[in-house]
Structure 1
Amino acid sequence: MATQNNKKKKLILIGLGTAVAGILGYFGWQYFSNRNSNTEMQDDFPLPSPQADDFSPNNIIARNDEFPLKRGSKGQRVQAVQEALIAKYGKSILPKYGSDGDFGSETVAALKKAGLPESIDEATYNSITKSEKSSSSTTEAASLAKTLYKAAVNKNLLQVITALRQMKTKDDYSSVSNEFLQYRIGGVRKTLVNGMLDSFSDEGQKQQIRMEFSRMGLKYDGDKWSLSGIGGMTVITRRNASVWRNPYDKVEVPARTILGTEIGQLNGFTAFENNGETFLINTQNIENL
């Protein structure tokens, strides 16, 4: 275990479940404890622990969603193509795996059925996903900004959450936030994320708002929010699970917790990045947001 000369970094977690806010608080700072620690939160069923070689960067199978997308590609762009196919043709186009982010035989068959090439270059990708991309027009952005401002002033959390859920991407956030800057919260012009969070004092309410911004793709680095840094697929826990920093140090994490950005897989484990460090979790315990 680490000593004072080998300080452990903290793992930033965002809880999705209703009970998580009480467990984790604001992004739930948690320290790693050794495998001998007395913790009551366990996996739903026993799973193997990672071995030392599993933590080698050279062994991790990295996500690959560079153009052209083709059989074997994996990542957020593949998932976007799959979601566009499902939106246009229904779930039956990808009946078994759906939008899992993996470009396998089912995705190849779906593209053929849709009359599309098996290899997707950037132009084709933009064409496929264009109709599914959410883009707030100036009018829509201005209307949402006004709605959010009034809801914030009136401390109406339901209206805030309802309005935020109309925003799907970081581009949507940017459009609405630019319009929101014309208003003043507490006499000060603020970005949308700061304006919303500063308008509510209850930690549970703040947690709900943070979740909406995280869903859009904004990243929190422990100090501030930003639009950058979200490159891969976001990993969340399906059940209570162990997250490993190395074969000896782990933390128990509740279900429906955002862990970080997936960077690869190896031997049944998924590697993800959080707060500048790489961690492992059994792939059976996670899904992509």
Structure 2
Amino acid sequence: MNRQTVTANKSLLWSTLLLAALLVLSGCSSTRMAYRYADWGVVWWVEDYVTLTDAQKTQLYEDLDELRGWHCATELPKYQVWLNTLETDVRQQNITPEALSQHQDELLGFFPPLLSRATPIATRLLTSLTDAQVRELTENMAERQRELEQEYLGEDPAATAVARAERTSERLERWLGDLNDNQRAIVTRWSAQRDRQTEIWLQGRRNWQLTFLEALERRQEPGFEQEVARLLNESTSIRGEEYEAMMARSRVALNTLIHGVVAAGDSAQLAHLKNRTAELNRDFEALTCSPGPEIAES
């Protein structure tokens, strides 16, 4: 996976990128390559916001190598069990909202151990930042926020819904193949019902950033690691009540969308979904925890 592909996902919290890479693997033809290069995506995300010294980079590389080793040896087997169950449900056409919700619960359960391991890494990096680096970070985060607000909030709501529907259709087609007219209509209705979702997401993003930057001012004081842990583990609540409510609604709506689109499909799409799930599972089976990147096409 090249730098441009990984950087496209830079909005993800760097501390969860290892897991998030497993959720967006459809953007890369090789699960193994995506996993092996996930840590470099972390480095690029950080460097997009702040210029690190050589010593900071060295420490971050070492920390991420250790994190990846633990994650590969300890967590990947759990993902394999989850994928086996998912593949079985797809093969048996058990893609009900209830089954999807259960898979979603299990997937979200993978986050806490990773966040716990990531907390000291994030704390070490953030504690090492100079005042000048914090100012650079603050300015770059504010600039990125302004760019996102100008890009998304200036759009007509109808145009926003259309763009959201197009993005959603593209992601679904990676797993199902071409959508039929009925499926596209389902996606269009779903997108139109998202209402103020983008606005709430951007406000929640701003809320989290402000809390994060306030915590950075106390990075040399006792208890800073606990503040970092809160920022990572309680991200949703920090983003605000409206954001929490939106996320709860979105989770249910997403399950309903997937169930409706699959139910409106045909045997060819189901076969496509089975093949993609089986392919993902085979890639996981082939993953190893040996150090060093693999040479492969992506």
Give me the TM-score of the superposition, normalised by structure 2.
Answer: 0.24
Report which of the two has the higher share of helix: 2
Give me the TM-score of the superposition, normalised by structure 1.
Answer: 0.24
